[in-house]
Chains A and B, each alone.
Chain A
Amino acid sequence: MKSEQTDFEREIAQLLVSSLNLALDPVSIDPEAPLFREGLGLDSIDMLEIALAISQHYGIQMRSDDPENATIFASLRTLAAAIKARRA
């Protein structure tokens, strides 16, 4: 059962799709599905692209030494939550 996107998650989904130029409807991204490998099939270079887009749009710097990197980029939901928390 696919979970529904919140408004903010939809905004981040749109950012993912535009920054990676994915041939994909942002609304169709399951917020709880893994972004990498078996989920959306993204890899570490895509993740860098996303991190750069996020810092450009929201002014949040993702750091290489952040121990939470793996959890932040787990899914659309965790990513949106992390951006929200850091922006606040």
Chain B
Amino acid sequence: MAEAWFEKRERGSGWGLRIGRTLALALGRRAGRALLWPITAYFFCFLREGRVGLRRYYEALEGHPPSVAALFAHYLTFARTILDRAYLLARHPDAPPYDIRGFEAVSPFLGQGRGAVLLGAHLGSFDAARAAASLRPDLKVQVIMNVGVSRKLNEALRVLDPGAQDSILSLGGAASLLRVKEILADGGLVGLMGDRPLGGELTYEAEFLGRMARFPLGPLRLAATLQVPVFFFTALYRKAASGACRYELVFEPLCGPAPEVALRGEWMRRLGERYVDTLQAYCRAAPDNWFNFYDFWQAQDVGPPRRATPGDGGPGRVGGRAPMERSDAPRDVGARGER
């Protein structure tokens, strides 16, 4: 997904995408993939921030700086998943195949007035999953994104897939969250991204690939409030030695439904830990699927969350939430509710 990077590429123009999509669908995937080389080379050369961020990622993952070839291959993987969106969402004959793993754990919760939350990350391709879901009319999948971040991306998706708006919900006001509850009550699935905090968002700290990083607390709180089972989810891009590639959709149980409100702190702490551990495991299994093209560890140290400023949190928050708003509080998921 990598909205930020995507936005940088796009710079507000839907035209480039429209032309690209038309070309890609008309020429087919083989020609489309050949065209990706010069395009990727261009972005590789001119987006320095992405290279720096990736280098930090590989240093954390492998303990040594990556080769330029490895970095370029990583960019190319990302570009390929973007290209594949066009084929997957258009149900083009060239659309790559996919396998589904672990879904049998999720399916009992569908269609019985319960639903489940899928906690994903900017790892692999969420679109491969949406495309798979669109082939199953009995399956209701709604992906939630933050409005501010994803406006451009939504615009892009509208171009690529006119039906996308039905399955992507922008997380804006409270009304959109009521909508989430309604989807779950219908036995649907709600997808949330759990890896990338936005400025001003409450966060928790966890060790990720050997170094402390900050993760957004909002998705955990939302999952707690919704009181449905939570699964880790990713759609990995896998390449065989033969050069053939496929997507691997993975579902892994993280936590059962959250308990009553007074016990949620512990539940969120456990969910956060399992989520980060699982994310880490899949980064190791498929390193080039990491699509956070910025310094994941450093970017999150910039300034405390907005609500940590004195007085901003309001009088009721002092005992409730303050500890996890402070950036110096280690591993403090869900301090709220334990007093």
Contacts and interface: CB of A to CB of B under 8 A. Distances in A.
B225 A23 contact: no
A49 B225 contact: yes
A19 B3 CA distance: 35
Contacts of A49: 225, 261
B193 to A, nearest CB: 15
A52 B175 contact: no
B104 interface: no
Interface string B78-116: 000000000000000000000000000000000000000
Contacts of B318: 23
A88 interface: no
B177 A22 contact: no
A38 B314 contact: yes
A6 interface: no
Contacts of B218: 45
A41 B181 CA distance: 22
Nearest to B220: A45
A51 B178 contact: yes
B35 to A, nearest CB: 42
B178 A48 contact: yes
B221 A64 contact: no
B173 A44 contact: yes
A85 B208 CA distance: 50
Interface string B175-211: 1111111100000000000000000000000000000
Contact of A64 (B175, B226, B261, B315): B175
Given A21-B337, A39-B314, A69 B175 contact: yes
- Main SS of chain B's interface residues? helix
Interface in B275-316: 307, 312-316
Interface in B315-336: 315-320, 336
B178 A45 contact: no
A62 interface: yes
A24 B319 CA distance: 8
A83 interface: no
A41 B317 contact: yes
A41 B314 contact: yes
Given A21-B261, A64-B182, A45 B173 contact: no
B225 A45 contact: yes
A11 B312 CA distance: 26
Interface string A58-88: 0000111110011001000000000000000
Contacts of B225: 45, 48-49, 52
A23 B194 CA distance: 27
Interface string A30-59: 000000001111101101110110000000
A51 B176 CA distance: 12
Contact of A21 (B173, B180, B262, B314): B262
B244 interface: no
Nearest to A73: B174
A20 interface: yes
Nearest to B225: A49
A62 B261 contact: no
Nearest to B201: A43
Contacts of A51: 174, 178, 181
Interface of A: 18-24, 28-29, 38-42, 44-45, 47-49, 51-52, 62-66, 69-70, 73
Interface pairs A-B: 9 shortest CB-CB: A23-B319, A41-B314, A64-B179, A64-B178, A47-B174, A24-B316, A44-B174, A48-B177, A21-B337
Given A69-B173, A69-B175, 6 more contacts: A23-B318, A47-B174, A51-B181, A62-B178, A64-B177, A64-B182
